[in-house]
């Protein structure tokens, strides 16, 4: 320093922390000099950066909605602030412990992963950065599912194939098929179908079908229920008991043609024909017996074909024929 008053601004930053001595040396114009007595001083610079870590959410966690990010930060002197970042973009700053920030994930892409970090600062500007934490936005959207076959209100029988279409924003896990609220099958393929065996079910009964779709996040959606009716495809039984096959009938006589007929769903009528001409129809059975009176024509030695035709309530038809000859 060449001009009075002689002063020095000492930058202690490059000086190691610890005890030191400071002295001054004065030199006159003739080159004479003298050194002052030393004074003791101690350098105690804060060179230690804070430590910081993200406490919540945990690494790998799935999050949704408003997420509270919490950080733990410490320093040898004190933490002045913590800054929070999402994918490197500043989110928020908190100047007071406990350090936290709110992150709104409502409009973010479901299934997308994001990286969270925090930076802690002390009064000297030292900073420490947390280890990155990866989180994934939760899938809260349920699948869409609907039955495509059979159609609502249709009649079915035998082995019935039930099919469904199902989609999801991120991916489907499975589709379950129900009949009258009972699970009958689960399909994990993309075809989404099930086979329903109706052979042992009561005829002309209605049943409710539905499907449930599940995505990989556990969201589920149930399709609209449809009603179908199991139809009777079993033919009725019918047998002519009078007259017997190949019987000889008396010309001009009145013959009672009798047939036994039965069906699981019920008989609606039995028609009697002679040589393909409708003779009569009986709709009221005596037990399982249906009758029709036939006046045998007077022509001698004539062959006649007698047929009984039975109808059940589902419209199934059975026939039985015999032949008789007039005397």
DSSP-based three-state secondary structure for 308: strand
Dmax (CA) for the chain in angstroms is 175
Q: What is the DSSP string of 24-40?
A: -EEE-TTS-EEEPPPEE
pLDDT of 120 higher than 90: yes
* Nearest in space to 122 (alpha carbons), one of 162, 84, 73: 73
Structure tokens at 218: 């556990």
pLDDT the model gives residue 207: 98
Gyration radius of the chain over CA positions = 49
Is the pLDDT at 185 greater than 80? The verdict is: yes
pLDDT in tens, 267-286: 999 999 999 999 999 999 88
Burial (CB count within 10 angstroms: exposed 0-12, middle 13-18, buried 19+), residue 34: exposed
Domains within the chain, CATH numbers bracketed? 51-137 (2.60.40.10), 144-230 (2.60.40.10), 237-326 (2.60.40.10)
């Amino acid at each position: 320093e060449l001009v009075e008053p002689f002063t020095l601004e000492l930058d202690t930053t490059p000086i190691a922390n610890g005890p030191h001595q400071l002295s001054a040396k004065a030199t006159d114009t003739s080159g004479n000099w003298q050194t002052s007595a030393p004074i003791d001083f101690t350098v105690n610079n804060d060179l230690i950066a804070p430590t910081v870590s993200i406490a919540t959410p945990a690494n790998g966690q799935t999050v949704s909605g408003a997420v509270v990010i919490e950080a733990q930060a410490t320093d040898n002197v004190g933490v002045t602030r913590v800054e929070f970042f999402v994918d490197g973009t500043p989110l928020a700053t908190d100047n007071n412990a406990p350090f936290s920030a709110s992150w709104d994930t409502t409009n973010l892409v479901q299934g997308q992963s994001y990286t969270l970090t925090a930076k802690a600062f002390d009064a000297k500007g030292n900073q420490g950065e947390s280890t990155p934490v990866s989180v994934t936005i939760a899938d809260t959207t349920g699948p869409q599912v609907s039955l495509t076959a059979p159609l609502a209100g249709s009649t079915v029988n035998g082995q019935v194939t039930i099919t469904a279409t199902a989609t999801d924003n991120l991916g489907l896990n499975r589709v379950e098929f129900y009949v009258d609220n009972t699970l009958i099958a689960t399909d994990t393929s993309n075809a989404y179908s099930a086979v329903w065996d109706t052979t042992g079910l009561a005829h002309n009964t209605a049943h409710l079908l539905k499907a449930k779709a599940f995505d990989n996040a556990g969201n589920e959606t149930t399709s609209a229920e449809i009603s179908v009716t199991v139809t009777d495809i079993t033919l009725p039984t019918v047998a002519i008991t009078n007259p017997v096959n190949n019987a000889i009938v008396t010309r001009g006589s009145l013959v009672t043609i009798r047939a036994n007929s039965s069906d699981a769903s019920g008989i609606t009528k039995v028609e009697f024909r002679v040589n393909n001409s409708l003779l009569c129809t009986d709709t009221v059975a005596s037990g399982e017996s249906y009758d029709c009176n036939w006046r045998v024509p007077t022509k001698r030695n004539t062959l006649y074909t007698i047929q009984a035709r039975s109808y059940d309530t589902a419209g199934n038809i059975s026939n039985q024929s015999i032949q008789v000859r007039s005397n």
